[in-house]
A and B are shown apart, each in its own frame.
Chain A
Amino acid sequence: MDCENARRRISETLDGGRPDAALVGHLSGCAACSRTLTRTRSLNAALASLPQLRPSAAFSTGVLASLKRARAAESIPAWPLAAAWAASSLALAAGAMRVSLSIPRLAGAVAEGAALLELAGRLALRVLPAPRAGAELSAAALIAVALFLTISLPHAHKTRLIGAKS
């Protein structure tokens, strides 16, 4: 066994391998490898007795607060999103009634409902803790659709809608 191999085997014995006869024989005749064994043992022991380091005192409270925030954002209630959905559906219905069914009065009432729902959903999203980006985006997209359809209604309805909002 040469010294390079002996050192490899030394490392293995320090991880639980059993020293074989060849290694024992080499160590008894090689001062350098015996010394390697002793010194590597010392290094391992020194590593094992390194003190544990501590993060700053604010660390754990910071982690727990972040965790709380993240979980609060995840448990955002479903209703603002549902409101946005309903608003866009109503606005769509209002648009359809006006264009194809020519019943502007009913269309106006439905559009008012849509605008109110849309407003409620938007306010809720602003007040709630930062929701997950996906939910926020889809709600925002739906609100945009609702707004577009509401605005594209006849002028008379628009003025009524603005009156209802303020």
Chain B
Amino acid sequence: MSEPLVADADLVRRCLSGDDGGFAALLERHQDRVYSFLRRLTGDARDAEDLSQVVFLKAFRSLETFDLARPFHSWVLAIAHHAALDHLRARRTDLSLDHDEHPIDPADGADGPERLAEAALDGALVERLIAALPPLYREALLLRHGEGLSVEEVAATLGIPEGTVKIRLFRARELMRRKWEAFEKDETREAPRP
């Protein structure tokens, strides 16, 4: 993602030198992506807004620990990741990946490509598909594709090895594709095409 890195670092310097305009500018620039990430991760608009506020307050008040050589958005998304996980744990959301550990049956996908009509991947369907994933898989996909981070950046943001990110992405993609195919089957059953 071609982020205006220098500009973000300059804004941080402005904040650190006591210029409050820097905070407003950083907030304006990053609030939508942080909110979107949290909204899709928690599935709740109000929770996402409360968490976003917590995230930015935490970021702004620990700004002196921010490494100016790092992209600001991945730093603030890392704070968002921790806040979201705390929130989901407090809500007793199942964060385990165990139930998706068993290998995916290869026969599953061999359904005959032409038999199913492809359901259009409109925004609403994608939102449903992503919402149906376990949170940690959802998170990896949101950071990788929603935020356009590289695997390396996702690993740094989540504080896990790149290999773990790749495994999560693989499983997340498999699950999402399967859910899409299952959805199509339902559609075909409910509304048979001539």
Contacts and interface: CB of A to CB of B under 8 A. Distances in A.
Interface of A: 2-4, 7-8, 11-12, 14-16, 31-33, 35-36, 39-40, 42-44, 46-56, 59-60, 62-64, 66-68, 70-71
A53 B146 CA distance: 11
B35 interface: yes
A7 B104 CA distance: 10
Nearest to A9: B170
B182 to A, nearest CB: 13
A11 B181 CA distance: 18
B173 A11 contact: yes
A40 B48 CA distance: 28
A88 B166 CA distance: 63
17 contacts: A3-B106, A15-B144, A36-B109, A39-B177, A43-B129, A48-B148, A50-B40, A50-B123, A53-B35, A55-B32, A55-B49, A60-B28, A63-B57, A64-B24, A67-B56, A68-B20, A70-B61
A4 B104 contact: yes
Contacts of B48: 55
Interface in B71-104: 103-104
B53 A50 contact: no
B49 A59 contact: yes
A2 B103 CA distance: 13
Given A43-B126, A50-B123, A70-B57, A2 B36 contact: no
A55 B52 contact: yes
A64 B27 contact: yes
Interface in B163-188: 166, 169-170, 173-174, 176-177, 180-181
Nearest to A62: B53
B151 interface: yes
Q: How large is the interface on B (under 10, 10 to 19, 20 to 34, 35 or more residues)?
A: 35 or more
B180 A43 contact: yes
Contacts of A7: 104, 109, 170, 174
A50 B126 contact: yes
B57 A67 contact: yes
Contact of A51 (B49, B109, B123, B141): B123
B67 interface: no
Nearest to B123: A50
A53 B24 CA distance: 19
A3 B110 CA distance: 10
A47 B146 contact: yes
B125 to A, nearest CB: 8
Contacts of A15: 144, 150-151, 166, 169
B121 A43 contact: yes
Interface string B51-68: 011001100110000000
Contacts of B129: 43
B121 A46 contact: yes
A6 to B, nearest CB: 9
Query: Across chains A and B, which 6 residue pairs bring their CB atoms closest together, nearest first?
Result: A47-B145, A11-B170, A3-B106, A32-B110, A53-B36, A52-B32
Contact of A47 (B31, B33, B126, B170): B126
